[in-house]
Amino acid sequence: MKEFTLSRKIGFIIGPLLYILLLAAPVELINPAIDKVIAVALWMIIWWVTEAVSISVTALIPLALFPLLGIGDIKEVASNYANPIVYLFFGGFVIALALEKVNLHKRIALSILKITGTKANGIILGFMIATGLMSMWISNTASTVVMLPIAVSVIQLLIDDEDGFTKNDRNFALSIMLGIAFGANIGGMATLIGTPPNSVMLAFLNESYNIDIGFFQWMKMGVPFSIILMIITYFMITRVFYKNNLGTIGKSGNIIQTELDKLGPVSKGEKVVLAIFLITAISWMLRSYLNQLLPEITLTDTTISVIAALLMFIVPIDYKKGSFPLNWEDTSRLPWGILILFGGGLALASGLAQSGFIDMIGSYISQQEDWSMWVVTAVLIFLMLFMTELMSNVALVTILVPLVVGIAIGMDVPMLQMVIPVTLASSCAFMLPMATPPNAIVFASGHVRVNQMARVGVFLNLISVGLLFALAYYVVPVLF
């Protein structure tokens, strides 16, 4: 249980107090409808920033207060918590759970490490690639947790060798740990289900503006972007900041093979889960073609995701024994709080839109004739990227994406050229341990100090600003 720190105690009181003061104010700030939504939004923002309570608990506030305040009836508000994007992510979580249960994710990761060889920098690259690939489909946290003990075993070889734990050894250990954390952060950007901010943005655009971004359409942008950022990150870690000058690490191959041997031969359960996973991924990629081929049905990314989740419960591994990839008890490990967070974010965004707040922002921006779209986009990317070092990126995207949309509308510029890079910026958190769970996990290993992460992280953050700006300028207009 998290310690109830002073900042959390202060936030716990300030949030509802500010809400009461705004509603009880003798004069209107803007108009009654907008004032009510702003009061709720400020309460939520304060609780999200200070983490006075769980961010998922905070996300329930609109469901309780919006109907009471007349912002929306209960059916309308509750529908946000059952948005199709919520079920897209639910299906993704179930697929990830099945991959983890049968240890298929670990087998894939170890197989990649085996291919990248036993040279020091090859091992580092292997850990980054394996973590990044897993993070495209399962949570960044789970990807990091899987890779960490394998990395620790490899590092232990250097601690135990005859020359002790030298500076080169320490740099190698540091590089592996940073590579795992940053690989997880980067890999999540490649797919819509790789990291929650992507789906929060998509859900808002779909719900409020009927804008749909397909799974494969996103991958055409996300995968190349992630590969480029992964390559840059690898070279920054191993060639610029933490050179190790180590050659082959002899017994590392033995460790990887031992871990593979522990898994045994590929089980029937792994084969079943892999088959469902591959069919799902291919269906996401070919959805538009499948809809043309079968015009009598309408496939959506969410439908495919839910079908895949259902198959994980009903396709037998051993019919006689009643064995299936998953049973309902396994779902106790699903991150249900994230799904609630999606709903709360959508409800808040919907309230901001319906009250006229987003239109008001747009109207104000439209009067600023000397504002450049590209300057504003660069500033928004920069702000998102550095703010996400200090608070939950899901909460941050929930708060800022509606405002970015309002700015885009006001400037009469393509909405996606601003929203997509700003959303991706929320995942480019490389400076501080508390910025993302992967950063915190590798920091807890004892092989990474805050200043070491920040030293390379600040440069990666700045490079990310440039890459995201280029993405907005050159790529988004072509693909979207």
Find the mean pLDDT for residues 179-187. Answer: 93
Residue 129 to residues 28, 134, 144, 227, 234, Cα–Cα distance (Å): 54, 9, 12, 9, 10
Residue 108: per-residue pLDDT: 81
Residue 346 to residues 77, 81, 424, Cα–Cα distance (Å): 9, 8, 18
Q: How confident is residue 394, by pLDDT bands cut at 50, 70 and 90?
A: confident
Say yes or no to pLDDT of 212 above 70.
yes
Q: How far is 343 from 203, CA to CA, in rounded Å?
A: 9
Residue keyed to tokens 């709903």: 343
Q: Find out whether 436 and 135 touch, Cβ atoms under 8 Å.
A: no
**Which of residues 329 and 342 earns the better pLDDT score?**
329
Residue among 328, 398, 377, 452 nearest 55 (CA) = 398
**pLDDT tens for each residue of 236-289:** 999 888 888 777 776 667 777 888 888 889 999 999 999 998 998 888 888 888
Q: Tokens standing for 126?
A: 């292997």
Say yes or no to pLDDT of 366 above 80.
no
* Dihedral sign for Cα atoms in the order 247, 452, 178, 240: negative
Task: Provide the residue type at 171 as one letter.
Answer: N
Residue 51: per-residue pLDDT: 82
Find the mean pLDDT for residues 158-176. Answer: 78
Q: How far is 68 from 61, CA to CA, in rounded Å?
A: 11
Q: How confident is residue 62, by pLDDT bands cut at 50, 70 and 90?
A: very high
Prediction pTM value: 0.82
Say yes or no to pLDDT of 167 above 70.
yes
DSSP-H helix ranges across 211-319: 215-235, 252-263, 268-285, 287-293, 301-314
Say yes or no to pLDDT of 378 above 80.
yes
**pLDDT tens for each residue of 274-327:** 999 899 888 888 888 888 888 888 888 889 989 999 999 999 998 888 899 999
Say yes or no to pLDDT of 112 above 90.
no
Say yes or no to pLDDT of 160 above 70.
no
Q: Find out whether 277 and 163 touch, Cβ atoms under 8 Å.
A: no
Residue 467: per-residue pLDDT: 94
Q: Tokens standing for 446?
A: 């004892």
Say yes or no to pLDDT of 330 above 70.
yes
Q: Find out whether 231 and 130 touch, Cβ atoms under 8 Å.
A: no
**pLDDT tens for each residue of 418-450:** 999 999 999 998 988 877 888 888 888 888 888
Q: Find out whether 137 and 99 touch, Cβ atoms under 8 Å.
A: yes
Say yes or no to pLDDT of 66 above 90.
yes
Find the mean pLDDT for residues 343-350. Answer: 85
**Which of residues 142 and 13 earns the better pLDDT score?**
13
Q: How confident is residue 75, by pLDDT bands cut at 50, 70 and 90?
A: very high
Find the mean pLDDT for residues 121-131. Answer: 89
Q: Find out whether 428 and 402 touch, Cβ atoms under 8 Å.
A: no
The per-residue b/e assignment along 79-88, b for 16 or more CB within 10 angstroms, e otherwise, is: ebbebbbbbb
Q: How far is 78 from 64, CA to CA, in rounded Å?
A: 10
Percentage with pLDDT > 90 across the chain: 33
Residue 161: per-residue pLDDT: 62
Task: Provide the residue type at 406 as one letter.
Answer: G
Q: How far is 161 from 461, CA to CA, in rounded Å?
A: 36
Residue 95: per-residue pLDDT: 87
Q: How confident is residue 470, by pLDDT bands cut at 50, 70 and 90?
A: very high
Give the DSSP letter string of 368-385. Answer: -TT--HHHHHHHHHHHHH
Among 114-123, 184-193, 249-258, 331-340, whose mean pLDDT is lowest?
A: 249-258
Q: What is the 3-state secondary structure (H, E, C) of 40-65?
A: HHHHHHHHHHHCCCCHHHHCCHHHHH
Residue among 129, 51, 144 nearest 396 (CA) = 51
Say yes or no to pLDDT of 165 above 80.
no
Find the mean pLDDT for residues 50-67. Answer: 91
Residue 457: per-residue pLDDT: 92
Average model confidence (pLDDT) across the chain: 87
Find the mean pLDDT for residues 201-218. Answer: 88
